[in-house]
Chain A
């Protein structure tokens, strides 16, 4: 197929390029300015480019280019044993990597048919909700920075450090966490970790209330965000929006409620929804979600069940190091798991979790080998970023920046 297909492709590619050039030429006749927003613009918070056609300050058209940090995760995953893929998922939405890790682990567990003990599920919920808080906290405080309020950012950034301290205590890493294992967590919550979480629950509400107070009724902030970058619920659904950005338009779709995973059905929480789907609504929805996450963490922390922190799945879950030195079976399993000699059963699964930005899905096909046959990531950023052009058209350049920050586009997740 190689040669035939190649010529067909290049012809078609050339045709599309010609068309695009023609389109740009048409626009040139109308006395428009072309402006490059990105790839390395400080306000894009990541590497992606938008070529804007401007009429004065008003954006007439935009051509987004992405792929600057594409790292071929889907291809790499086809050559790696299952447990080695978790570090790849860290690097997708790096503002909330535990959610990615857990989502991937749950997908593999679904394939293997492993039942996870309640305690491990609750620990996961705590870590995922902490990750959601740190994700939303960055997004909202950066929105403040982009509209000219730096103080709130520095103030809540401190709290993110505290969340990262908890990560560090639980898994040893801070940003790209590689947290948990297929079959549970790699270690139980230590007394220090429990103490840190308790402290966080005591301290954080005050900080967040103060942050909210600074921006929510701030006249300048409201002027900059209300009505900016709005999208209707219908268009948002057509564009595949999920997560806070969809909920800001008034659709109450949340994977945690629709398809509960990891015992989310045990917890009492609400799904905040917006109304107009503009930047201000997205800000409010994220703010409220932080409160709801806190509520979930409190419940999980208080009702943390006794029991094991991992499933009894010796084929997939690394045995304790002590046993590896003393017991034959443990040594065999340890060796087989580390060398990636464990074959997964044949199957096809889709599992999705509510990531920081929406439905983070993993579509996994296994042909019974040591690696996935195909692993596809449904990355919410990639899917909703294509609506950006439509959202900023007719608006001003400064509004485009705010729209981008409030969408919370994470370059790592966008390009995978």
Chain B
């Protein structure tokens, strides 16, 4: 079976229902859709086990923070790759900032271990069931998650650098 964005999406919708495979779009040739945290593990396991799909490679995971997206501020992006069919897809899960809890993927992909630690370190995602969820790149004593948008990069109290000088 030739994998296309349409037939893979159709298959997933048939399996998980339309309410769980939402907002499918195609920003750069890679099919992207949103699911919720209750389904994410079952979905990735299904993609892994399915004989036709064989999506068995986790390319990357990236957290994104959307402070304006009230109620669902935190986004976790999973990018998977079927090496057999050279088919990539991207799954997003949105969770509220007060409760950034996701199930761990380490039982399916060993590589998710450090990716999840990185997401915890920089965004404060909590992965339930993770074997060793501690900070990975920052010092353990750090008290905040630096990639969140409320922490600006430059010292905002500096007055000698006015934005207008820099075209900002």
Contact = CB atoms under 8 A, between A and B. Distances in A.
Contacts of A349: 27-28
Interface in A365-392: 365, 370, 373-374, 376, 378, 382-387
A184 B63 CA distance: 30
Contacts of B90: 350
Interface stretch (B7-15, B16-24, B141-149): B141-149
A350 B28 contact: yes
A339 B98 CA distance: 38
Interface in A320-350: 336, 339-341, 347-350
Contacts of B168: 340, 370
B134 A13 contact: yes
A378 B134 CA distance: 20
Nearest to B73: A1
Contact of B32 (A72, A237, A348): A348
Contacts of A76: 153
Contacts of B62: 363, 374, 376
Contacts of A70: 137-138
A27 to B, nearest CB: 16
B160 to A, nearest CB: 17
B157 interface: no
B167 A340 contact: yes
Contact of B57 (A5, A237, A259, A385): A237
B124 A5 contact: yes
A237 B80 CA distance: 12
B88 to A, nearest CB: 8
Interface residues of B, number: 49
B79 interface: yes
B83 A74 contact: no
Interface string B40-52: 0000000000000
B111 A238 contact: yes
A240 B109 contact: yes
A12 B166 contact: no
Given A76-B153, A79-B154, A238-B110, A383 B115 contact: yes
A251 B81 CA distance: 14
B154 A4 contact: no
A415 B137 CA distance: 7
10 contacts: A9-B124, A16-B133, A67-B135, A75-B147, A237-B56, A237-B57, A347-B28, A348-B27, A361-B60, A386-B111
